[in-house]
Amino acid sequence: MKKTFYLFRYISLTAIIGSLLGSLLLFIVGALKTINAFRVVIFNYIPENKAHLHPADIATTYLIKSLDTFLIALVLFIFAHGVYTLFISNKIYDNGNGVLKWIRTPNIGHLKNVLAEVIVIILFVKFLEVVFVNINNLKWEILILLASIVLLALGLKFLSLNKEDSNNLNKS
């Protein structure tokens, strides 16, 4: 029975491959958004729905959107690496200077914490984008998004999901 469960872990390759492909796609989309920012500045490309904004503001909006897209791509990459580490790889981390040392995933709790932190950052970037695009037409409803981000960040801080994990990493 143990061998069956051991072999069943390879089904997680579906999540790993899907996350890596999604990450690659989002890196390409983020690069295209960055290219659009250059198009606005260099070739004076102004989309119809953003004609009311200054070209520099349009370029900044594209760059904020690309930052958001790159962050989500990194989340997918970190998730793929974490699932691989937890379910496929049986290697124990060494204290060397590994390339992916910064995303070590000792357990599922650590992976959840890293993903939660990045999601809060993504929501903050989205809030910044909404405020920046609608700077002349802000409504009080935007405060709901801000309050949600603050509450998520506070919840993450009070849960201290990574507190125990960071102690374990420092000991090893």
Number of domains within the chain: 1
Q: 100 CB contacts (<8 Å, ≥6 apart)?
A: 81
pTM of the model: 0.74
The number of CA neighbours under 13 Å toward the Cβ of 88 is 14
pLDDT at 107 over 90: no
**Do 108 and 47 contact (CB within 8 A), yes or no?**
no
Residue 93 has a pLDDT of 58
Query: How much is the average pLDDT of 124-145?
Result: 83
Q: What is the pLDDT of residues 4-33, one digit of tens each?
A: 777 788 888 999 999 999 999 999 999 999
Query: How much is the average pLDDT of 72-99?
Result: 78
Burial string for 28-46 (b: 16+ CB within 10 Å, else e) reads ebbeebbebbebbeeeeee
pLDDT at 104 over 80: no
Q: What is the extent of the structural domain holding 99?
A: 2-171
